[in-house]
Amino acid sequence: MSKALQVDLRQDGLDLCAVGPLWLAATEQRTGTIGKSVRIGITRDVHQLLRFCERGNAHVSGPKRLR
């Protein structure tokens, strides 16, 4: 997700509630169905469904079957 939004360590420490290059905002846009899957790149609790993402979103990393 951060790659798709062009967020990297240059934004580390920014106040996300203040006006600036990166901030949190409300939107009127509806999200798609939220899915859950196993997390990737971990060795503990690998079978727990602790990864949440918008189904079918091309910006979600990992195998397509987990999107």
Query: Could you tell me the pLDDT band of residue 67, with boundaries at 50, 70 and 90?
Result: low
Is the confidence at residue 65, as pLDDT, over 70? no
Rg (CA), the chain: 15
Spatial separation of the C-alpha atoms in residues 38 and 52, rounded to whole Å: 9
Contact predicate 23/16, CB 8 Å: yes
Cβ–Cβ < 8 Å for 36, 65: no
pLDDT for 16-60, tens place per residue? 888 888 878 888 888 889 999 888 888 888 889 888 888 888 888
pLDDT of residue 1 exceeding 60, the answer is: no
Instruction: Specify the pLDDT at position 41.
Output: 83
pLDDT of residue 58: 82
